[in-house]
Amino acid sequence: MSKSIKIILFLLLPCLVLSQGRVFSIQGVILDKNIGQPLSEAAIIVLETQQKVITNEDGKFIIHNLQPGNYHLGISHLGCKSYRTSIHLLSDTIINFTIEHYHEHIQEVKVRSSSKGISKSISAQTIIENSEKNLGNLLETTIGVRSLKTGNSIAKPTIQGLYGNRLSILNHGIAQSGQQWGNDHAPEIDPISSTSIKVVKGVSAIEYKAVNMGALIILESEPITNDPHLHGQSTIHFESNGNGIGANTLLEKTNKNIAWRLGTTVKRSGDRSTPDYYLKNTGTEDLNFNLNLETTLWKSWNTRIIASSVNTKMGILRGASIGNLTDLQIAMNRETPLFTEENFSYSISPPRQTVNHFFLKLQSTKLLSDKRSIQLAYSSQVNLRREYDVRRGNRSEIPVLDLSQFSNYLEAKYTIQHQSSSTKFGIQANYIENLNDNNTGVSPLIPNYNSIEPAIFLTHHIYLPKSQYQIGFRYDPMFQSVFTYDQLLQEKKSFSHSFHNITLAGEYSHQFSPHTSFKLNSGFTARNPGINEMYSFGLHQGVSSIEEGNIDLKPELSFKTTAQFTTDWKEKIRFEVLGYFHNINNYIYLKPADQYRLTVRGAFPVFRYDQTHAQIIGIDGTISAEISKRIQWNLGYNLISGYDRTQNLALIYIPSNSLQSTLKLNWAKFKKLENLQLELSGRHIAKQIDILPSQDFLAPPGAYTLFGLACSAEKQLKKLRVKVFIKLENLLNSRFREYLNRQRYFADELGRNFVIGVHFNY
C-alpha cells in the first residue's frame, strides 16, 4: 500500500509543482453605468498585492501575475464614487464593471432625461462632501431649489416657488411623516444616510402617498454589495463657523442568508457667526442611526428592512425672542441683534427645539413572471417634538410645545412590464395620530387629531422608438377627526373633515436625435388644508411669531405645466431650459397681519392663514461646457415670479431670481494624488423687488453675491481609500440677509466658513 502511494505521489508531483507556480490574469472593461460608454483613465487596484493599472481609451484593463485565491479590487475614476468588489480567482478571468459617473451640469447636480420624468439628482459623492449640511441646505445648490429658513440649522426646501405641505419628502419610498408645521420645522432626515437624493416631477410621482403639487424629494440608498467581508466607510469633518465637528460611519457585510448595513452620524456645532458678530444660541447637536437588512424569504420574496433614528437639538436665535413691543420694534430695525455676546459658546438654551424621529420600513418584492411583479410594504413612524421658550418662574426647562405623532402605512403595488409599455397599480392606506402633552401649561399650537388616508393610483407608460407617453391617476380620500379646547368657553370641541383629492397627470417626451430631446408634463392636483393652516392658534416659538389658522379654508386646486428642452453639441456644450406655469385656486399662505401682539411670553408679530388665486411662472436655464479635458464650466439661471391675482399683488415668500456659475479643473492623476479637483463657484441672488413694504413687517433685503472655493483629492493607502476635501464658503466674508430666512428680521446671514473633511473607504 505504501509503495502504491509513493508511485501516485511521484506521478502527480509535476502537476503539483506546475499548479503552485501557475498565475492568472484579470481583464475587462470599465463602463459608465448611466450611458454604457467605456471610461478611460479609471484606476483598478488589487488591494491585497497593491498592483495597479489604468484603463486605456477603450476602458479596457488587464492585471497579470495573480496567484489563485480571494482578492478585493478597488476601482476609482474622476467624478465617480469609489467602487469595491471581491473576486475568487481560480483561472484567467474576464469581468466587466459599471460604475456611477456623475455628469455634473449644474455645480453639484446631475440632470438627466429618463422615463422617470423631469428629475435632478444629487450623487453620493456630493452628499459626502457636504456632510455638514442639512437636507434643505444640501438641496439649495440645485437650480430651481431654494430653502425657506429659520436661521441656518432649520431649512425647508422650496422648489419652483412651492414649499411646506405642497412638497413631500420620501424616505426610501415612504412619505416622511412628522411635525412639519411652519417654516421652523425642518425635515427630520439625515441626508448622509442616503446615497442618492432626487427631485422628481411628473407622472412617476403619482405612485407615492404624498402631496406632490410641486415635486417629490426622494432619498434612497443603494443595495448592499454582495461581498462576504466586512467593509465600510467613514467621514470626519470640521467647519470653522460654529466650530462644528461631525463624524459618520457606515459598515456592511453580506452573510449567507442576510446582508446588513449599519450607520451612525454624530454632529455638534456652537454659536454661528456673521461677518461682524456671533449669533447667540444657534448651536445644534445630532445623533442619528440607520440599519438596512436584505434577505430572501419564503418563495423568492426579496425583502428589505430599513430602520432609522434621527435625534436633533437646535437652538433658536436668542435675539428673536423679545420681551415687549418697544424692544421688538427696536430689534427688527437693529443692525446687531439684542442679547448678542462677544464670546463663542456651545450652550443651547431656550428658545430651542428637540426632535426625535423613528422610522421603520418592511418591503418585499416578488417576480411573478418575467413580466409581472408585486411589492408589499409596511412602514411605521414615530415623531416626538418639544419646543422650549424663555419662561418666567424657572420654567424654561418645561416645554411650551410637546407633540407626539404616530403613523402607520400599508401599501401593495402590482406591475406589468411589456416590451413597449408598462402599467402599475397600487392600493395604500395611512393612519396618523397626533397628540399633545397637556402638562406644558400653554395652550397647544396644534390640536389633537387623527387622520385615516386610503388611496389608489394607476400609471401607464408607452414606449415608442423615439417617444414616450405617460398618464397617471390618483385618488386620495382623507377623513380627519380634530379635538380642540375653547379657552373662552372653557369647553372641549371636536370637528370632523372629509376630503376627496384627485391627481391627474400626463407626460410626453420625444428624442429628436441622440443630442436633442423635449419633454412636456401637465397635471392637476387637489390639496386639502393642513391641520396647522386650519387650527394654529398661539405663539409659534420657533419663528418667533403668533400664528392664527382659518377653519374656513377650502382645498387648493392646482394645475401645472412644465416643458423641458435639452440639447448638446458634440457632448462638449450642453444647453437646457425648463419652463413652468402653475395656477392655484384657493392658494393658502401665511399672511403678515401688520400687527404686533404682547403676551406673557413677550411681544411677537402676528401672521394669519389666508387664501387667494395664485400664479407662479418660472424658467430654469443651464449651460455647461467642457472647455478641455480638464476644464469644465457651468452656468445656471433661475427666473421666477409669483402673482396674487385676487389682490393684484406679488405673491409673498417666492424666491428672487438667481444666477450661479462654477469653473472646475480636474486631473485624473497629479503626482501621487488621484482625482484632484479644484472648483471656483459664484452665486448671485437678486433682490425681491416685487414685494411692497405694506406686505411684510420689513421690506425685502438687498441683492448679494457669494463666492466659494473647493478642492478634493484621493489616494490609495494599501487597503484604505482616502479622500480629502476642503471648502471655503462665503469666501469674501460678505454681509447680507436672505429674503426667505425668517431670521432676517433680526440678524445677518452667516459669514465665511472653512470646511475640511476626510473620507475613508475600507
Residue with cell 380634530: 482
Residue 221 φ then ψ, to 5°: -125, 140
| Three-state secondary structure call for residue 334 | coil
Amino acid at 96: N
Rounded to whole angstroms, the Cα distance separating 200 from 212 reads 10
> Residue 538 above 80 pLDDT?
no
Q: Is the pLDDT of residue 17 over 60?
A: no
Q: How many residues does the chain have?
A: 762
State the average pLDDT over residues 317-334.
80
Q: What is the pTM of this model?
A: 0.85
pLDDT score of 601? 66
- The pLDDT value given to residue 192: 87
335 vs 116, more confident: 335
- How many percent of the chain have pLDDT more than 90? 50
Quickly tell me which residue has 402653475 as its cell: 582
Residue 106: per-residue pLDDT? 28
Query: Could you tell me which residue, 104 or 313, shows the higher pLDDT?
Result: 313
HSE-up (13 A, CA, CB side) for residue 510: 4
Burial of 322 (0-12, 13-18, 19+ CB in 10 A): buried
Look-up of cell digits 429658513: 149
pLDDT band at 110 (very low <50, low <70, confident <90, very high): very low
pLDDT (0 to 100) of residue 432: 95
Domain boundaries 16-99, CATH class: mainly beta
More confident residue, 331 or 304: 304
Q: Residue type for 500, please?
A: H
How far is the C-alpha of 363 from the C-alpha of 350, rounded, in Å?
41
**What average pLDDT does range 450-473 have in this prediction?**
94
- Which amino acid is it at 24? F
What's the grid cell of residue 477?
380620500
Q: How many helices (H) and strands (E) does the chain have?
A: 5, 43
Please state, in angstroms and rounded to a whole number, the distance separating the CA atoms of residues 250 and 222.
13
d(CA 139, CA 686): 19
Strand partners, 704: 685
C-alpha closest to that of 500 among 525, 483, 481? 525
Describe the strand order of the beta sheet including 174-175 as a list of residue ranges.
109-114, 117-122, 196-201, 216-220, 168-171, 174-175
Tell me what pLDDT residue 114 has.
Answer: 39
Q: Which residue has the higher pLDDT, 440 or 652?
A: 652
Task: Examine the pLDDT at 712 and tell me if it is beyond 60.
Answer: yes
Could you tell me which residue, 546 or 499, shows the higher pLDDT?
499
Query: Which residue would you say has higher pLDDT here, 369 or 291?
Result: 291
Residues 588, 590, 591: CA angle, nearest 5 degrees: 110
| Mean pLDDT, rounded, for 77-96 | 79
Cα–Cα dist 432/449, whole Å: 8
Q: Looking at residue 101, what is its pLDDT? A: 60
pLDDT for 754 beyond 80? yes
Task: pLDDT band for 694, please (50, 70, 90 cuts).
Answer: confident
- pLDDT tens digits, 385-416: 998 888 877 888 888 889 999 999 999 999 99
**Is the bond preceding 351 in cis, omega lying within 30 degrees of 0?**
yes
Please name the residues in contact with 64: beta carbons below 8 A apart, sequence gap of 6 or more.
Answer: 23, 25
Mean pLDDT of 129-140: 86
Place of cell 460608454: 37
CB-count exposure of residue 238 (10 Å: 0-12, 13-18, 19+)? middle
Residue 199's pLDDT is what? Answer: 81
Q: Which of 65-74, 195-204, 325-334, 555-564 is most confident?
A: 555-564
**Is the per-residue pLDDT at 487 higher than 80?**
no
pLDDT at 107 over 50: no
- The mean pLDDT of the chain is 86
Q: Point out the least confidently predicted range of 10-14, 41-45, 266-270, 486-490.
A: 10-14
For residue 212, the model assigns a pLDDT of 65
pLDDT greater at residue 111 or residue 49: 49
CA pair distance 185, 205, nearest whole angstrom: 24
First to last CA, the chain: 52
Instruction: Give CA–CA dist 702/713, Å, rounded.
Output: 37
Minimum mean pLDDT range among 165-179, 236-250, 607-621: 165-179
What the block records as the C-alpha cell of 742 is 425668517
Residues 420 and 275: their CA atoms lie apart, in Å, by 59
Q: Is the pLDDT of residue 438 over 90?
A: no
Top-confidence residue, 700 or 601: 700
- pLDDT, tens digit (0-9, with 9 covering 90-100), for 465-484: 999 999 999 999 999 999 98
Fold: same for 16-99 and 168-761: no
- CA torsion 621-191-315-385 (nearest 10°) is 110
Q: Is the pLDDT of residue 648 over 90?
A: yes
Indicate if the pLDDT at residue 728 is higher than 90: yes
- Across residues 185-206, what is the average pLDDT? 80
Q: Go through 207-230 and write b for each residue having 16 or more CB atoms within 10 A of its CB, e for each that does not.
A: bbbbbbbbbbbbbebeebbebeee
Q: Which of 668, 756, 673 is nearest to 721 (CA)?
A: 673
**Using CA atoms in the order 581, 585, 591, 593, what is the torsion angle rounded to 10 degrees?**
140
Exposure pattern of 719-750 as b/e (b: 16+ CB <10 Å)? eebebebebbbbbeeeebbbbbbbbbbbbbbb
Cell numbers for 635 = 452656468
Residue 9 pLDDT level (bands cut at 50, 70, 90)? very low
Considering only the C-alpha atoms of the chain, give the largest distance between any 2 of them, rounded to a whole number of Å.
Answer: 110
CB-based burial label for 125 (10 Å; 0-12, 13-18, 19+): buried
Arithmetic mean of pLDDT, 137-143:
80
* 624 pLDDT above the threshold of 90: yes
Question: From the CB of residue 496, how many other CB atoms can be counted at a distance below 10 Å?
Answer: 8
Q: Which residues of 339-377 are buried (b: 16+ CB within 10 A; e: fewer)?
A: ebeeeebeebbbbbbbbbbbbbbebbbbeeeeeebebeb
Rg (CA), the chain: 28
Residue 658 confidence (pLDDT) = 95
For the chain, the structural domain boundaries read 16-99, 168-761
Pick the more confident residue, 549 or 144: 549
- Most confident residue range from 215-219, 318-322, 491-495, 646-650: 646-650
Res 638 pLDDT > 50:
yes
pLDDT value for 77: 81
CATH fold for the domain made of 168-761: Maltoporin; Chain A (2.40.170)
CA dist 217 and 167 (Å) reads 8
C-alpha neighbours within 13 Å on the C-beta side of residue 449: 22
Give the model's pLDDT for residue 456.
Answer: 96
- Mean pLDDT of the region 603-615: 90
552 burial class (0-12, 13-18, 19+ CB within 10 angstroms)? exposed
Better-predicted residue by pLDDT, 115 or 70:
70
What is the pLDDT at residue 603? 75
Q: Could you give the percent of the chain with pLDDT greater than 70?
A: 90
Output 545 or 691, whichever has higher pLDDT: 691
